[in-house]
Amino acid sequence: MEAPAISFAPLDGDRSSTCLAFSEADNRYSPTLKALDAQAQGAISRAAGIARFTGSKKSALDLIAPAGLSLERLIVMGLGAADKYAETDWLALGGRIRARLAGARVSACDILLEASAPQLVSGRHAALLALGFMLRGYEFKKYKTKKKDSDEDEPESGEIKSIRILLAQPEEAKAHFEALRAVGHGVNLARDLVNEPPNVLYPEAFAKRVAELQGRGVSVDVLDQAKLEEIGMGALLAVGQGSVRPSCVAVMRWNGARNPEARPVALIGKGVCFDTGGISIKPAAGMEEMKGDMAGAAAVVGTMLALAERKASANVVGLIGLTENMPGGGAQRPSDIITALSGQTIEVLNTDAEGRLVLADVMWYAQDRFKPQSMVTLATLTGAIIVALGKEHAGLFANQDELAERLTAAGLETGDKVWRLPLTAKYDKMINSKVADMKNIGGREAGSITAAQFLQRFVKDNTPWAHLDVAGTAMASPQSDISQSWASGYGVMLLDRLIAKFYEDK
């Protein structure tokens, strides 16, 4: 299904036969809705009274062929207290509009974006609404076979061709939406990657998908398995030993800063395309969800697309370690000792604690090659983070308060929320090994924290670093007003906002 066209136009222009307008709490009508009610000789307000519609948030009133109006349909949606709306409320409103129109089988609609007071609605609000509309419409159906011939004439729920948002500042809305549309494309790309089955999106295939970003202005290099062996990525390669699929690392560069030599921000994602747990094999129930164990990498790729499409004025490098964790004859065993790219040795006590091994080598490589000004790692790293935080927040760990505060602020603004957990010397001791420099697990307690402590051992020279454990938020997360997909695309809006707000040239 093609994405509907989204456009913006002046509020006082011509209108189509289907319109959607808004009422705030206590039925405070906008000037245009008041005028429509007057034209209809009070039919709208009378219908609202009969239906007990008061303009509360998430409520709606649907009028077919309202008397006295030339409209075929008028939908009035409740805004509630619009003066208290944050960005996430406008996104959610756009998603609810998409769901309402799809359920009503509306193919085209004008949205009269106006409130009782002009200052309550801006061009940016309209653009956020449009982004929410766009994100709610995402579906992953590429492997669904075509309908039978007998079903072809049946209308499809959600077949929306176009919407036009009518408001007082259409040009301002257009300008804001150009950047936000790019972010939406990045989110939906991340969703696509996470939703793909592992027989289609294995490491080499993932790298080929990444290479497509070169047409968008992103420089892409792929380090194949032979190159990884040459440079000594022993930790990452150990994870992939049991798979017939070779491992690789994809490196993406976006140089948009005024100074092309400015140190970049490094975004690093875990890309385990399927995780059986290896020799420490996972239970069969639910293992199919491990196709999403590359969601950290998907978020990095989606962010790089968003930055390129909106031409972000920052230098950013994205690196993803791509491998499979399979229990083949060559797989690493519990008690193996491996040597990471940094030269540090790791006692592997559980082969299912593999994501940290992948990130360790890619982090070290990123710091050696790019000398980043700051570094963020993302991974579906531990089930323990879901026990701690559920599926509403990603776990945040950081070696610098400023970077942690920046990510927290970006998360609150975009809805990709994070919650900071501690890193301390006592937790770090839990991963000390008697036979190697460290072990890859610290025991049952504080599992997410000890995983992050492991990663911190691969941070060089006090580089500002933050880690996001997205196991609960990137896949199988709760459906929302803007996401009905198994894969949420978590992380793209967060990282894009982090860079836009704190790292771009001003």
Catalytic residue among 174, 253, 282, 457: 282
Count of CB atoms situated within 10 Å of the CB of 178:
13
3-state secondary structure of 174: helix
Do 55 and 28 contact (CB within 8 A), yes or no?
A: yes
Is residue 356 part of the annotated active site? The answer reads yes
Residue bearing tokens 């004008």: 110
Q: What is the 3-state secondary structure (H, E, C) of 298-367?
A: HHHHHHHHHHHHCCCCCEEEEEEEEEEECCCCCCCCCCCEEECCCCCEEECCCCCCCHHHHHHHHHHHHH
Q: Which two tokens stand for residue 146?
A: 């075509």
Q: Are 315 and 263 spatial neighbours (Cβ–Cβ below 8 Å)?
A: yes
DSSP 146: P
- Please give the DSSP secondary-structure letter assigned to residue 273: E
Other CB atoms within a 10 A radius of the CB of residue 476 amount to: 16
Give the Å distances, CA to CA, from 323 to 65, 205, 235, 359, 396. 57, 11, 11, 11, 24
The answer to whether 272 and 355 have CB atoms below 8 angstroms apart is yes
CB atoms within 10 A of CB 14: 9
Whole-number Å distance between alpha carbons of 289 and 19? 41
> Which of the residues 96, 310, 356, 417 is marked catalytic?
356
Catalytic residues: 282, 356
